[in-house]
Amino acid sequence: MSEATERFFESLPARAPHVLRGPVNGTMQIDLARGNQTAHWVVRMRPGAIEVSRQRGPADAIWYTSEDLFDRLVTGRAQAISTVLRNESSFSGDVVLFLAFRRFFPDPPDTRDPREVAREQAGRLR
């Protein structure tokens, strides 16, 4: 397990009040595969809070991906929905949990808010 992934999961409880504002409630298991081994993370989400565990248990949704791909997600070098659509990862269960969880991932490096870019362009035209 990479240090980036470990830090990502450790940071979730502190970031949850800012990310989980909507009515999300459920448990998602994230299975990270490396060779013949699979690491399991369980996140219990509710509005404004998240609990993270390494213990398997009942889950409303399961997301299966490789450790390598997850490292790219936590560093902003990949996008969660794109990985599912390209069959690089698989998801089953309550899709609302997946859509809420993906908001914890960072934007790609050097990404800027399009409104800021538009303001800069408008300022240059004056």
User: Domain extents for the chain?
Assistant: 3-125
**Residue pair 40/30 in contact by the 8 Å Cβ criterion:** yes
* pLDDT tens readout for residues 35-93: 999 999 999 999 999 999 998 889 999 999 999 999 999 999 999 999 999 999 999 99
Cα–Cα distances in Å, from 119 out to 89, 109, 124?
37, 21, 9
pTM of the predicted model over 0.85: no
What is the CATH number that goes with domain 3-125? 3.30.1050.10
**Residue pair 64/56 in contact by the 8 Å Cβ criterion:** no
Residue 95 has pLDDT above 90, yes or no: yes
Assign residue 62 a region: left if phi > 0, alpha if psi is -120 to 50, beta otherwise?
beta
> According to the model, what pLDDT value does residue 31 have?
96
Helix (H, G, I), strand (E, B) or coil at 122: helix
Residue 120 has pLDDT above 70, yes or no: yes
What band does 21 get if pLDDT is binned at 50, 70 and 90?
A: confident
- Residues 82-106 have a mean pLDDT of 95
Q: For the packed helices 67-74 and 3-19, what is the interaxial angle rounded to 10 degrees?
A: 50
pLDDT-wise least confident of 9-13, 42-46, 62-66, 103-107: 103-107
